[in-house]
Amino acid sequence: MQAAFASHWFRFSTEVRDVDQVLDSIAGVSGGDFGPVEHRGMFNQPMRFLHDTGASVYFGSVRDQPIVVDVPGEACELVSSDALGMWAENVGGRVTRIDVAADLEPASHARRRLIEMRKLFRKGQCETRIPKTSTRFYESDVPGDGCTLYIGSTSSDVMCRAYDRRGPLRIEWQWKPSDREVRSSLPSTLLKYGPSGMWRRLGHACVWPCTWYQQLLRGECADVVSGPRKPDDLARTMAAVSEQMGATLAGLLLAGVNLGELAVMPRKPNAEQVRKFAAWVAQARDLGYDPAKLDAEVKRWRRSR
């Protein structure tokens, strides 16, 4: 079984009141441009800037209202999870919504697994606090649209959505944390664990007893972390990040290397940290980047943080 993990929605608010600072932070990590100000507000903010990726920055003239950055699913397909974590972390963001998705191959098993999830949940055989009555199942009349299963509701802290219209079975976990400290720690958590780690943490909200789901939770599958999907956007992001971080370090970022751990690595790392760093250098070589430049780039980047 192979599973591809990706962030599917990301929303955070920040106490930073200077919208230009937020815009510069996003552009500094991912490049791209923002369009002109639009009077299309949400989240108690009357205006927004729209980024090339589709991410929106909502703001207003009232200084006591936090700026809100909303990154929907389409935008998440163009931005790496590490970049999303850095967007929030760089401006002291508090995450108010995060969705992570897993696409399970082979696609030929998708419908059978979806029906199995529905039956087991309705029979009360799942380990969860979500009421077994809190489920909905939709089968589209349009050929190719497939079926969708909802566990929980959009108003609850945690909700699961599973569907097969993409081909492979997609299982999405949506989390809207209410605790202020948890919201503040989520950017660094996403940087540390990545979308696969976040998915597995949320996946324990409802544990299906079937073997394939248990294997997915334990990581007994071939993980693939999805990144930016459009080659033009990837090249633009790579160029923008390279200006600030160096080409080798930027390449590792876009490849999914855990830069959250790299950022806090001490000047005299212990044996485990040395091992991780060596693994990243090896990965850089495998990806075609120059490991000889990595050490200098890391030191320069860490001094700038």
What is the rounded distance in angstroms from the CA atom of residue 35 to the CA atom of residue 158? 33
Between 10 and 261, the more confident residue is 10
Q: What is the pLDDT of residues 128-166, one digit of tens each?
A: 988 888 899 998 777 667 899 999 988 889 999 999 987
Q: What value does the mean pLDDT of the chain take?
A: 80
Topology (CATH level 3) of domain 2-99: Double Stranded RNA Binding Domain (3.30.160)
**Domain residues of the chain, as ranges?**
2-99, 103-224, 246-304
> Computed from CA positions of residues 285, 289, 291, 295, in that sequence, does the dihedral angle turn out positive or negative?
negative
Per the structure block, which two tokens stand in for 99? Answer: 């969705």
Pick from 83, 105, 234: nearest CA to 164:
105
**Quick one: 72 exposed, middle or buried, by C-beta within 10 A (0-12, 13-18, 19+)?**
middle
What is the rounded distance in angstroms from the CA atom of residue 47 to the CA atom of residue 255? 34
What is the rounded distance in angstroms from the CA atom of residue 48 to the CA atom of residue 68? 9
**Whether pLDDT at 231 is above 80:** no
Q: Are 108 and 167 in contact (CB under 8 A)?
A: no
- Per-residue model confidence (pLDDT) at position 180: 87
Q: Are 173 and 158 in contact (CB under 8 A)?
A: yes
Q: What is the pLDDT of residues 181-215, one digit of tens each?
A: 899 999 998 988 889 999 999 999 999 999 999 99
- Per-residue model confidence (pLDDT) at position 141: 72
What is the rounded distance in angstroms from the CA atom of residue 114 to the CA atom of residue 133? 17
**Quick one: 112 exposed, middle or buried, by C-beta within 10 A (0-12, 13-18, 19+)?**
exposed
Cis before 143? omega within 30: no
Min mean pLDDT across 12-16, 63-67, 259-263 is at 259-263
- Per-residue model confidence (pLDDT) at position 44: 85
pLDDT category, 17, cuts 50, 70, 90?
Answer: confident
pTM of the model: 0.71
Angle, CA of 222, 223 and 225, to the nearest 5°: 155
Within 13 Å and on the Cβ side, how many CA atoms surround 271? 0
